[in-house]
Amino acid sequence: MKKSSAGSSGRGTTSHDPRKTTSGEQKTVPSKRKHRRSGKDTMETQEYQSEAGPNGAGEEKKIRERLMEFAERIKTIKIQSAGQLEETNITIQEIHELCLRGRERFMSEPPLIKTPAGICVFGDIHGHFADLSKILDKTGVPPKQRLLFLGDYVDRGSYGTETITLLVAYKILYPKHIYLLRGNHETRAVNRMYGFLEECRTRFGEVEGNRMYTLFSHVFNSMPLAAVIAKKIFCCHGGISEHMYDISQFNYIIRPYDITDIGLLCDTIWADPMTINKRFDGSPRGVSKVFGQDAINDFCDMTNIDLVIRAHQCVSDGVEATHDDRCLTVFSAPYYCQESHNLAGVAYVDTKLQVQCYQHKSSYDPIKQTISES
């Protein structure tokens, strides 16, 4: 896997193997070849269908133009110092339409996404909108570039609203060029505690904020859980599960769905890789499991998968290969929570299933900037 620095400093790129910490060695390695539906959700679907209704070509064109204007407005928000954004003026009406149309778009796709190679894979974003915008300037956006996001769009950072609305707008406009998976922070149990509910209330007031939060929650409950790239690379937010016997199990998930405390759905968004002498063990997080080398070997052999790409953990270099290079962690929120001086990583899977890893250095991390200037 080739890792290229794509920092905001504009300097020339360097490449090295993500398994090497300081060598700077260039190397490209191919992937190895060897619930229940709630009443509120049902009502929301009916509401959307009745509002959207059968539209003529002229009306559909107006809707598309409106969404394109919205996406361009959000993508080009001016970024002030320290990653703060100018006033975005996202209206309640825009969020309402976006959530209803976005939810229907997700529901029209299978719970397990199958996509060809030639795609950029992103890890956690966590409301780091300023950095996401700069990374997208380098990778390109739909329809010029195909993107796969592994979840955790909200919480922690200050701009979850901009992050999720931009990506959902792209999803509605270019459904075959962008895929959004669900992470553990796309659940009420988590995002009502770690910032997103409070963000909605702060921006729109308590009553409307609660309403917006509910609309976003319906969108999250409709997102797919996993993706397979070119039949060989399995992608999800957390990791593999001891309850998984065949990848096709994901196709039997009935959406909208809640995440259970144990089982396949839980592990897919919560599990972590770890060096252990057993296949699975209890997680230090207190939820789900950690999986070892034997577990991922068994999974790859059983499913004919070469590589697992997942997110969920902040890693210093933005990308980290483990478990005999059969597991790649990607984390795309640099200077995480303004505490961890990490880089952001993005993995590009080319048409030959070569995985190239790119790094982005936050413009707002004082330590990283000092290093780059020395």
Structural domains in the chain?
Answer: 2-373 (3.60.21.10)
What pLDDT was estimated at residue 39? 41
Alpha carbon distance 274, 213 (integer Å): 34
Residues involved in catalysis: 185
Q: Which residues contact 175 (CB under 8 A, 6 or more apart)?
A: 105, 108, 109
Give phi and psi for 295, each to the nearest 5. -65, -45
| Helix axes 160-173 and 206-220, enclosed angle (nearest 10) | 50
Alpha carbon distance 161, 155 (integer Å): 10
Place of tokens 């039949």: 231
Alpha carbon distance 349, 1 (integer Å): 10
pLDDT tens digits in sequence order for the chain, 374 residues long: 545 544 433 333 333 343 333 333 333 333 444 444 444 443 333 333 334 455 577 888 999 999 999 999 999 888 876 677 877 789 999 999 999 999 999 999 999 999 999 999 999 999 999 999 999 999 999 999 999 999 999 999 889 999 999 999 999 999 999 999 999 999 999 999 999 999 999 999 999 999 999 999 999 999 999 999 999 999 999 999 999 989 999 999 999 998 888 899 999 999 999 888 888 888 888 888 999 999 999 999 999 999 999 999 999 999 999 999 999 999 999 988 777 789 999 999 999 999 999 999 987 777 654 333 32
What pLDDT was estimated at residue 158? 87
Alpha helices in the chain (DSSP H): 39-52, 57-75, 92-107, 129-139, 160-173, 188-191, 196-204, 206-220, 264-270, 293-303, 366-373
Tokens read off for 139 = 């990778």
Distances (CA, A) of 239 to 244, 255, 313: 11, 20, 11
Alpha carbon distance 157, 265 (integer Å): 25
What pLDDT was estimated at residue 275? 83
The helix (run of H) or strand (run of E) holding residue 179 is strand 178-180
Q: Which one-letter DSSP state was computed for residue 238?
A: S
Alpha carbon distance 286, 266 (integer Å): 12
